[in-house]
Amino acid sequence: MGADGSGHGRLFGRSILVVEDEYFIADHLMRQVEQCGANVIGPVATLDEARSLAWANPHLDGAVLDINLRGTWVFPLADELAERGVRFIFATGYDARMIPARFAHVGRCEKCADAAEITAAPFAES
């Protein structure tokens, strides 16, 4: 919970990109991120769309990334975000072993995470 008891905490007022290829899960994640008080960018379902939105938003504060987008891994985007100093977490149903070692420090939550789980997951430090 944030200091005001709202549950917003550290995401309040931040711009967060949501990348998820399954419509209902994307909608759920978007609502949960909004509940945290963040401004949602997206959601988007493909790596190309995610890259376009990420680069179109120079003041992006963070991202919630599904790791497999219609058969395409999201890790190139994760690398780009890390290079820019943008914090992110992975929202995935995959086992942690599917995530490359270079992202071992990145927070992970289940795809159907609620607002509390999203704010509790440690966003990657740049």
Residue 82's pLDDT is: 94
Q: How far is CA 70 from the centre of its chain?
A: 17
Over the stretch 78-123, which tens digit does the pLDDT of each residue have?
A: 999 999 999 999 988 888 888 999 998 898 877 777 777 777 666 6
Contact between 118 and 35 under an 8 Å Cβ cutoff? The reply is: no
Q: What residues does each domain of the chain span?
A: 11-105
Residue 50's pLDDT is: 97
Separation in Å, CA 34 to CA 30, 41, 49, 94: 6, 10, 20, 24
Q: Which long-range contacts (CB under 8 A, 24 or more apart) does 102-110 make?
A: 103/75, 103/78, 106/78
H/E element, 107: strand 107-109
What CATH number is given for 11-105 in this structure? 3.40.50.2300
Residue 124's pLDDT is: 45
